[in-house]
């Protein structure tokens, strides 16, 4: 079958579909907000993992991209000469990763984060002999209780440590706050900034992130930069939180009904190997567009079980669009996504940074 003949009716399922028109609109929406509030946008590419979509974000006005792992950053930089500024929001440890990091730093403007002295010591010894110092931001815990120093005082202590470390330069403060965390970010960062500046150290960047609260980012005016990820595609989690509507979901999983074993149950060919088991606090594993009466109550690896209280009214061979709970993890399951423009399939784009976990 030639490319031109592939349509939503014939493409092999399950297929991860990205509507580029919706993605463009989502990118503009946040960029407009950031511009209006004097915030720099640095989108996290974990959601799409595709250099061409990072280029769309940069063209819209983003100052650079965010990655989570070194290998992810390498794949993105290799995939686009437009990607010249990368922040890796991760504690990087180990000889092999540090070797890759120094190579990457020679190619692009690079920043990383650290929340402890072991990581800072490793970065320093890797960069001491490099031509340019590495920018290191201190990761701060503003309530998500994942990584990050617990207090502004600890942040200031690590800032001093970075500023004094050979091969490194202090790059600012970074946090991944919980939803509705703007007030906590403002309080923590204002205090940390004052402490660090009192030491005579400049705080060039204060960067926060998270799509659920991105339209409240300006409620933490101390921040200079914001790192939304999921906003480019959106998903069921964000619709449920009221952050967007179904029409704003650029990513769907196209699935085929393969079995209708009872009047209230149907099975689709998308299971946890496509939709993933991520719940993000929701019940069920996705939303069938146009069928609010259906729940996806169970997944096995290659089967999704659809149930309804009333008649399910589906037949074998029917095709359905499912909005997954969490878009970012879905793109990690496939080697390529199917691109839709003006309702037509226009291409298949490799997810080049898929599976880049080291």
Strand 251-262 with 294-299, pairing: unpaired
274 binds a copy of itself (CB under 8 A): yes
Please count the residues of this chain forming the interface with a copy of itself, following the rule CB under 8 A: 62
136 binds a copy of itself (CB under 8 A): no
Of 241 and 303, which CB lies nearer to a copy of itself in the complex structure? 303
List all residues 6 or more positions away from 285 whose beta carbon is below 8 Å from its beta carbon: 272, 275, 277, 279, 296, 297, 298, 299, 304, 324, 325
Residue identified by tokens 């792992």 is: 69
Of 51 and 210, which CB lies nearer to a copy of itself in the complex structure? 210
DSSP H stretches of helix in 165-226: 182-198
97 binds a copy of itself (CB under 8 A): yes
Of 15 and 288, which CB lies nearer to a copy of itself in the complex structure? 15
HEC string of 235-265 equals CHHHHHCCCCCHHHCCEEEEEEEEEEEECCE
Determine which residue in the list 267, 296, 312, 330 makes contact with a copy of itself, applying CB under 8 A.
267
List all residues 6 or more positions away from 146 whose beta carbon is below 8 Å from its beta carbon: 176
If you compute the radius of gyration of the chain from its CA atoms, what whole number of angstroms results?
A: 22
151 binds a copy of itself (CB under 8 A): no
The phi, psi pair for 204, rounded to 5°, reads -70, -25
Question: For residues 244 and 212, is the Cβ–Cβ distance under 8 A?
Answer: no
Determine which residue in the list 303, 347, 348, 350 makes contact with a copy of itself, applying CB under 8 A.
303
Question: 30: closest CA among 247, 218, 186, 242?
Answer: 218
Question: 281: closest CA among 178, 148, 143, 142?
Answer: 178
Residue identified by tokens 């009214």 is: 313
283 binds a copy of itself (CB under 8 A): no
Instruction: Compute the distance between CA of residue 205 and CA of residue 55 in angstroms, rounded to an integer.
Output: 22
Instruction: Compute the distance between CA of residue 114 and CA of residue 89 in angstroms, rounded to an integer.
Output: 8
Closest approach of a copy of itself to the CB of residue 280, in Å: 9
Residues 15-54 that bind a copy of itself (CB under 8 A): 15, 46
- For the chain, the residue count is 358
Question: For residues 63 and 225, is the Cβ–Cβ distance under 8 A?
Answer: yes
Determine which residue in the list 13, 66, 124, 175 makes contact with a copy of itself, applying CB under 8 A.
13
Instruction: Compute the distance between CA of residue 339 and CA of residue 23 in angstroms, rounded to an integer.
Output: 11
115 binds a copy of itself (CB under 8 A): yes
Geometric angle at alpha carbon 316, from 315 and 318, rounded to 5°:
70
234 binds a copy of itself (CB under 8 A): no
Closest approach of a copy of itself to the CB of residue 247, in Å: 26
Closest approach of a copy of itself to the CB of residue 163, in Å: 20
148 binds a copy of itself (CB under 8 A): yes
Per CB under 8 A, the segment of 51-59, 203-211, 242-250, 258-266 that binds a copy of itself is 258-266
Of 218 and 336, which CB lies nearer to a copy of itself in the complex structure? 336
147 binds a copy of itself (CB under 8 A): yes
Question: For residues 216 and 180, is the Cβ–Cβ distance under 8 A?
Answer: yes
302 binds a copy of itself (CB under 8 A): yes
119 binds a copy of itself (CB under 8 A): yes
Of 121 and 194, which CB lies nearer to a copy of itself in the complex structure? 121
DSSP states of 121-132 as a string?
Answer: HHHHHHHTTSSS
355 binds a copy of itself (CB under 8 A): yes
241 binds a copy of itself (CB under 8 A): no
260 binds a copy of itself (CB under 8 A): yes
Neighbours of 17 (CB within 10 A): 19
Of 96 and 309, which CB lies nearer to a copy of itself in the complex structure? 96
Of 81 and 300, which CB lies nearer to a copy of itself in the complex structure? 300
Tell me which residues touch a copy of itself (CB under 8 A): 1, 10, 12-15, 46, 68-69, 90-91, 93-97, 115-116, 118-119, 141, 145-150, 256, 258-262, 265, 267, 269-270, 272-274, 276-279, 298, 300-303, 305, 315-317, 328-329, 332-335, 355, 357-358
């Amino acid at each position: 079958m030639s490319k031109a003949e592939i349509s939503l009716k014939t493409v092999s399922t399950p297929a991860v579909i990205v509507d580029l028109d919706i993605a463009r609109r989502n990118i503009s929406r946040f960029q407009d907000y950031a511009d209006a509030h004097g915030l720099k946008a640095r989108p996290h590419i974990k959601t799409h993992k595709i250099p061409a979509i990072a280029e769309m974000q940069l063209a819209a006005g983003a100052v650079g991209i965010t990655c989570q792992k070194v290998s992810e950053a390498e794949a993105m930089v290799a995939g686009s000469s437009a990607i010249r500024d990368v922040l890796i929001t991760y504690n990087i440890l180990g000889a092999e990763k540090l070797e890759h990091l120094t190579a990457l730093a020679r190619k692009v403007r690079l920043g990383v984060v650290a929340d402890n002295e072991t990581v800072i010591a490793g970065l320093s010894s890797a960069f001491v002999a490099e031509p340019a110092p590495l920018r290191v931001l201190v990761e701060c815990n503003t309530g998500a209780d994942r990584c990050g120093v617990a207090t502004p005082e600890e942040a200031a202590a690590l800032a001093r440590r970075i500023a004094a470390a050979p091969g490194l330069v202090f790059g600012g403060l970074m946090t991944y706050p919980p939803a509705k965390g703007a007030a906590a970010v403002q309080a923590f960062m204002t205090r940390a900034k004052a402490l660090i500046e009192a030491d005579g150290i400049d705080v060039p960047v204060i960067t926060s992130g998270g799509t659920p609260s991105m339209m409240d980012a300006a409620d933490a005016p101390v921040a200079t930069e914001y790192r939304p990820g999921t906003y480019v595609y959106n998903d069921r989690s964000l619709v449920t939180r009221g952050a967007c509507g179904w029409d704003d979901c650029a990513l769907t999983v196209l699935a085929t009904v393969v079995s209708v074993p009872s009047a209230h149950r149907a099975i689709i060919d998308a299971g946890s190997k496509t939709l993933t088991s991520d719940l993000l606090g929701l019940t069920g594993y996705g939303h069938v567009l146009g069928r609010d009466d259906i729940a996806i109550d169970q997944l096995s690896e290659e089967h999704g079980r659809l149930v309804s209280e009333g008649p399910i009214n589906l037949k074998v061979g029917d095709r359905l669009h499912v909005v997954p709970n969490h878009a970012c993890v879905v793109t990690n399951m496939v080697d390529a996504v199917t691109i839709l423009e003006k309702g037509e399939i226009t291409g298949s784009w490799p997810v080049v940074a898929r599976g880049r976990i080291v």
